Amino acid sequence: MAGKVKWVTDIEKSVLINNFEKRGWVQVTENEDWNFYWMSVQTIRNVFSVETGYRLSDDQIVNHFPNHYELTRKDLMVKNIKRYRKELEKEGSPLAGKDESGKYLYLDFVPVTYMLPADYNLFVEEFRKSPSSTWIMKPCGKAQGKGIFLINKLSQIKKWSRDSKTSSFVSQSNKEAYVISLYINNPLLIGGRKFDLRLYVLVSTYRPLRCYMYKLGFCRFCTVKYTPSTSELDNMFVHLTNVAIQKHGEDYNHIHGGKWTVSNLRLYLESTRGKEVTSKLFDEIHWIIVQSLKAVAPVMNNDKHCFECYGYDIIIDDKLKPWLIEVNASPSLTSSTANDRILKYNLINDTLNIAVPNGEIPDCKWNKSPPKEVLGNYEILYDEELAQGDGADRELRSRQGQSLGPRAGRSRDSGRAVLTTWK
Amino acid sequence: MLQEESDLSLIIAQIVQKLKGSNLYSQLERQAWASLQRPEIKLESLKEDIKEFFKISGWEKKLQNAVYSELSVFPLPSHPAAPPEHLKEPLVYMRKAQGSWEKRILKSLNSMCTELSIPLARKRPVGEQKELLNKWNEMGTDEPDLSLFRPVYAPKDFLEVLINLRNPNYENGDSLSFRTHLGLIQVPLKVKDIPELKECFVELGLNIGQLGIDDSTQVPPELFENEHVRIGQKVLAEQDSAAAQQYIRQGSPTALRAELWALILNISSQPEDVLYYEQLKTNVIQHDLLVDSLIYKDVKLTASNDDYYFVFEDYLYQVLLCFSRDTSVLSHFAYNSASPPKSYIRGKLGLEEYAVFYPPNVAPLCFLYHEPSKLYQIFREMYVRFFFRLHSISSHPSGIVSLCLLFETLLQTYLPQLFYHLREIGAQPLRISFKWMVRAFSGYLATDQLLLLWDRILGYNSLEILAVLAAAVFAFRAVNLMEVTSLAAAEAVLADLSTLKKT
C-alpha cells in the first residue's frame, strides 16, 4: 500500500488543509485520481446523482453519505423520526411507550413540527389548541439562521395558507418549503442568557450503526438577555444562537466568541443543580443522538466509501430536558476565536484518524473498526455490532452502553434489552 | 494558667456580646418561647429541657456553627491596655505604610473627580433611577464613555509600595551573607518554612486522597472518590461547620461545594438577608458613586473577555455595586489595617465608601450560586474573611506582605539556582507571581482547579496556600525558566496556567 494519499477539497479552510499537509498527503484536482475528497454538500449531490454521478473505486473516500439530507434537512429529519416512532409503536416496543397525555416517554425529543405548506391545516388545528404559544418558522434548505422568524399569530403566516388552499397542482417548488415548530420559550438560562449546544458526532457506518461523539462540544450564548416577551420576538439577537447572527450584535466579543466548553457547562450544572440531574441530562443527550441516527439508518444509503461528521444542535429547557433542534451535515469549519481554531483543527485531526486509518491509502472494504488509541477526543457513542455481540458477554455490552451510551436505569431496563438486540 | 483562663473568658464574653446582637439570638429566643408549648418541657426542669430540645432540633448545631465562625474570624485578644489601632495592626510601621497608601489612593481619586468634574457621590435624578432599575439585570449592555477613567492603581503599583516597606528598628547589616534575603520584600516577618508548612497542611500529603487528582478517570472511584462523596453528604446532613471545614481540606465534590461553602462561612439565606440585599440595591439605584464607573470599567476589561466568566458579567456588576455600599462590611475594619475614607453626599448624610478597592474575585463564585442575594452574601463573607488581606498592608500571616515573603523564601531556599538565575536576568520571581496571588489566582487557573484551590483556603482558614502554589508553579516550570533570558520571556513561560492541574 505504498504511495501518498491524494486529496481534494472544495472547502478552502485552513483547519482542513493543515491537517492534510501534516500527514504528508498530496493535493490533486478532482479530475485526477484522488483518494480522499472533502466535499461540500453540493458536490456530493453531483457525485451520487443519477445523471452525472460516477462510481467510486475502492480506494476513494468521501466525507458525506449520499442521502445525508434524510437527517440534515429539517423536514426530512422530522419525517424520519415520526416514522421511526410509529414503527416502534406498531411493534409494541417498550421504547415507544407513552404517558397519560399521549406523549412519548422516551422518544419525545423533537419539538412538535409541521411542514408547510403541506401540513398547514394540521398545524392550524394544533395552533388553536394553545393560541398563546410561539412558533418558529425555518426554511428547510437554509443554514446559519437565515430566513428564520418567530410568529405568535396565524396572520403572520397567511401566505402559506393561501397556497395550500389552491389547487394541489400548484408546484410546491416555487414556494420554499418551511417547517414550523413549537418554539421552546423556556430555555435554560445561564447568566440570564439563552444558549444552545453544538456537539460533533462522527458516523462511520449506518448498518451496523457505529458512531462517535466528540468530547469537546461547546455552548453558544446569545449576547443579549433572553426575554420571552412578545415585543422582542423580532429581535434575533435574543433568540437565535447561531454565531453567524450573533457576531453582528453590538456586544459580540471576539475573544471568547460567546462560547463555553461543555465541561464548563457540566461544572456549572453540577455545582448549582447537583450531580444526578446533570448526569441524567447528559445521558439523555446521548440517547437522543443515538435514536435520531437509528431513525434514519434504514433509509440511509450506507455507501462504504462514506463517513460523515455531523454538527448536532441541542437546546436544554429549564426543566433540564434536551431537545434536538437540527443536525448539520456541514458544520462550520470557520474559526471565530483562537480556541475555536484549535478545537476545529483537533476535530478534523481525530476525524481523519478514524476515517482514514494510519493515514494510508484507504481501502473502503475495511471493517471500519479503529483501535481505541486513535480515537483522540472522540468516544464511542454507540456500536451496534458490539452491542449485539455475544449474549453471554453482557459485561461488554453494558460497558459499551455505559461508556457514553444511554444509561438505562429506571424503567428503561427493558428498553435497553430491546436496544441491544435491535438490528 | 490564670492568663489563659482570663483570656478564654475574655473571648467568650466578646463572642457572647457579638452574638447577642445577631439574628440567631432572636431566633433562638423565639424558638425557646415556642418550645414552651411542647409537652416534654416541664417547668421544674425548664433549663435542661429546653437545652435538650435545642440539641434535638438542630438549633444547638446552629449555635455551635455561629460560635465556630466567630472564632475563626476573631483576632487574638491582646493586652487589655492596647489601643484599638493595635488590634488592627500591631506593627507601627505597617500601619503608617497602609495609611500613606490610602492617602495616595484618595488623592488620586479626588484628582480624578476634579479633572472630570464628577462628584465622588451624588444622588441620581428620578428618571435615571428608573432607567437603572429597568436595566438592573443587563448592565453589561450599557456602553457609557469610560475612556477618561483610569484605574486607580494596578497591582504593580501596590507591589512597589510593598517592596519599599522597611522596618526602622531592624538593622540588616551591610555584609552579605548567605542568609541575606535576595528577594524584593525586605521586611522581617515570620513566615513558615517547609517543615512547618508540612505540619500545617498535613491533609495535603501524598498519602491522603485528594479531589482533583484521585478522582481522575484513571483511578477507580471505589478507591477514594465514592467514600469522599459519602462523607461529604454526611457532613452536610449534620450541618456541622467545623467538620465541613476539616472535610474540605481534601477538596469538595462539585455537587456539594455550594452548600459546603455556605456551611463553613455560616451563611443561611434568611428572608432578612434577601431584604438586606434589596436595600443595598436600592442604595445603588438612588446614588451614583465614582467608584461605580471604576468598577464598571474594570469588569468590562477583565471578566467580559474571559472564556469562563463572560456569561456572568451582569451578576458581577450587581454584586460589586452593592458591595461598595455595604456598611456592614465596616465591622471587618476592626481587624483590617485599612480604614475606610468617609465621604458626604451633597446635602445628605454621610455614606461610607471604599476607595481602597481592587475588584476582588466574584466571578468564580458565579459558578456556584445563581441567586443574587446568596451570591452576594457568600462573596461578602469571603471578602471580609480572606480576600481583604490581599489588598491591605499588614503583618498578618495571611496578609499579602507575608504571602510575598513566604513565596520568596520558599523559592530562595529550595530552588536557589532558579531564583538566582531569574534575578540575574532582571525577572524577580515575585514580579510575576504577585498578580497571581493578589487575585487569588482567579483568572489564571481553569475554574474547576480554582474552586479546588479555594476549597483549601476555606479548609485551612488561611491564604498561605496561595504562596505555596505560586512557588510550586515556578518549580514545575523550572526547566523552561532556566533557559529564558528576559523578563518578558519568563512571563511568557508562565503565562498560561490554565493547563496546570493544581496538585
ipTM score of complex:
0.70
A106 reaches B (C-beta below 8 A): no
Of B143, B305, B448, the CB nearest to A255: B305
Q: Which of A271, A278, A279 to mutate to test the interface with B (most CBs of B within 10 A)?
A: A271
Q: Which residue of A has its CA nearest to B447?
A: A264
pLDDT of residue A309: 92
Chain A contact for B3 (CB, 8 A cutoff): no
pLDDT tens digits along B324-333:
776 666 555 5
Which among B255, B311, B367 has CB closest to A221?
B311
Q: How confident is the model at residue A420 (pLDDT cuts 50, 70, 90)?
A: very low
pLDDT at B395: 72
pLDDT at A356: 84
Does B314 reach chain A within 8 Å, measured CB to CB? yes
Q: Give the angle subtended at the CA of B140 by the CAs of B102 and B278, to the nearest 5°.
A: 70
Cross-chain CB nearest to B254 (options A250, A253, A267): A267
The answer to whether the Cβ–Cβ distance between B140 and A251 falls below 8 Å is yes
Interface contact A275, partner B, CB < 8 A: yes
In the predicted structure, residue A354 carries a pLDDT above the cut 50: yes
**DSSP characters for B104-145?**
HHHHHHHHHHHHHT--SEEEPPHHHHHHHHHTGGGGGG----
B134: contact with A, CB 8 A cutoff: no
Give pLDDT tens digits for A120-168.
888 888 888 887 888 888 887 777 777 788 887 777 777 666 554 444 4
**Which pLDDT tens digit goes with each residue over A69-100?**
899 888 889 889 989 988 988 888 877 778 77
Name the packing angle between helices B271-286 and B126-134 (round to 10°).
130
* Mean pLDDT of the residues in chain B: 68
A191/B258 touch (CB, cutoff 8 Å), yes or no: no
Spatial separation of the C-alpha atoms in residues A268 and A352, rounded to whole Å: 32
User: Within 10 A of B170 (CB to CB), how many other CB atoms are there?
Assistant: 11
CB B303, CB B310: distance < 8 Å: yes
B434 touches chain A (CB under 8 A): no
| CB-CB neighbors (< 8 A) of B141 in chain A | 224-225, 250-251
Q: How far apart are CA A320 and CA B303, in angstroms?
A: 27
According to DSSP, the β-strands at A36-38 and A61-62 are: parallel
Is the Cβ pair A256, B305 closer than 8 Å?
A: yes
Percentage of chain A lying above the pLDDT 70 cut:
79
* pLDDT on residue B189: 61
Instruction: Give the nearest partner residue to B254 out of A224, A250, A270, using CB atoms.
Output: A270
Tell me chain A's radius of gyration from C-alpha atoms.
Answer: 22
B139 or A1, which is more confident: B139
Find, in chain A, the residue whose alpha carbon is nearest to that of B375: A272
CB nearest to B258's CB, from A260, A271, A339: A271
Question: Would residue A224 be called left, alpha or beta, if left means φ above 0 and alpha means ψ between -120 and 50 degrees?
Answer: beta
Question: Do A274 and B368 make contact, defined as CB atoms within 8 angstroms?
Answer: no
**CA–CA gap between residue B91 and residue B168 (Å, rounded):** 11
**In angstroms, what separates the C-alpha of A361 from chain B's closest C-alpha?**
35
Nearest 10 degrees: CA dihedral of B468, B469, B475, B478? -140
> What is the phi/psi pair of residue A380, to 5°?
-65, 125
CA distance A253 to chain B (A): 7
Decide if B368 touches A, using CB distance below 8 A. yes
Of residues B324, B327, B323, the one with CA closest to residue B290: B324
- From A273, which residue of chain B is nearest by alpha-carbon distance? B255
Q: Which residue pairs from B365-368 have beta carbons closer than 8 angstroms and sit at least 24 positions apart in sequence?
A: B366/A191, B366/B309, B366/B311, B366/B312, B366/B315, B366/B316, B367/A267, B367/A268, B367/A271, B367/A272, B367/B308, B367/B447, B367/B451, B368/A271, B368/A272, B368/B257, B368/B258, B368/B261, B368/B451
Q: Where does A359-393 have alpha helices with state H?
A: 384-387
Of B253, B310, B312, which has the smallest distance from its Cβ to A256's Cβ? B310
CB B411, CB B418: distance < 8 Å:
yes
Q: Does A318 touch chain B (CB under 8 A)?
A: no
Q: What average pLDDT does range A201-210 have in this prediction?
A: 91
Task: Compare CB distances from A191 to B141, B254, B315 and report the shortest one's residue.
Answer: B315
On whether the CB atoms of residues B140 and B314 are closer than 8 A, the answer is yes
In angstroms, the CA B376 to CA B379 distance is 5
Contacts of B318 in chain A (CB under 8 A): none
Q: How far apart are CA A195 and CA A211, in angstroms?
A: 25
Query: Shortest CA distance to A107 belongs to which of A86, A128, A76, A92?
Result: A86
Chain B neighbors of A258, CB-CB under 8 A: 310
Chain A residues lying within 8 Å of B448, measured CB to CB:
263, 267
User: Taking residues B180-186, what's their average pLDDT?
Assistant: 57
**If pLDDT is split at 50, 70 and 90, which confidence band does A395 have?**
very low
Judged by average pLDDT, the poorest of B136-150, B157-171, B208-222, B458-472 is: B208-222
**Are A253 and B304 a contacting pair at CB < 8 A?**
yes
Q: How confident is the model at residue B15 (pLDDT cuts 50, 70, 90)?
A: confident
Select from B260, B258, B227 the least CA-distant residue to B246.
B260
What residues of A are in contact with residue B140 (Cβ under 8 Å)?
Answer: 251
Show residues of chain A in contact with B367, CB under 8 Å.
267-268, 271-272
Q: Name the residue in chain B with its Cα closest to that of A276.
A: B255
Task: Tell me which of B468 and B173 has the higher pLDDT.
Answer: B468
